[in-house]
Amino acid sequence: MVFVTITGLLVGSIFAYSYIQVLHAQNLPKPNIVLTNVQGSYVQDCGVSGSQTTSFNVSITLVNTGGDGIATVGYFVNGQQIANESYLVHASSNFSYLVTLKVHACYGVVPPTYTAVILSEQ
């Protein structure tokens, strides 16, 4: 009888703890992440003996005015996505990052357009 009582209390405690954790997770503030300060430069290695690549150095700042979150950022050149990265941004903080991306393409005298956008946040 004592074993049944102790087992019942243990199982009840586990269920109660799980229920409290679910309620707590539902009440956490949602992230509110925006991308600011997108800057960059590029270098082409496109001569006769070059690698026929262009390197993009892109600096971004992610600002989060909500709860902890993960932002997935997409990097685009001439409208085509060339990479994406996910970043953890803590609540009420900002995060700056410099990424270097290499594309096997040369753009000649027409400068390429490049940017970064938030694809998703969670």
The pLDDT tens digits of the residues spanning 37-83 come to: 999 999 999 989 999 999 999 999 999 999 999 999 999 999 999 99
pTM for this one? 0.74
Assigned token pair, 117: 């956008």
Contact 120/84 with Cβ under 8 angstroms? no
The three-state secondary structure class of 95 is strand
**CATH 2.60.40.10 for the 33-121 domain, yes or no:** yes
- In one letter, which amino acid is 23? L
Interval 71-120: pLDDT, tens: 999 999 999 999 999 999 999 999 899 999 999 999 988 999 999 999 99
Strand order in the sheet with 69-77: 80-89, 69-77, 114-121
Cα angle vertex 113, ends 48, 87, to 5°?
105
The label of the residue with tokens 């925006």 reads 34
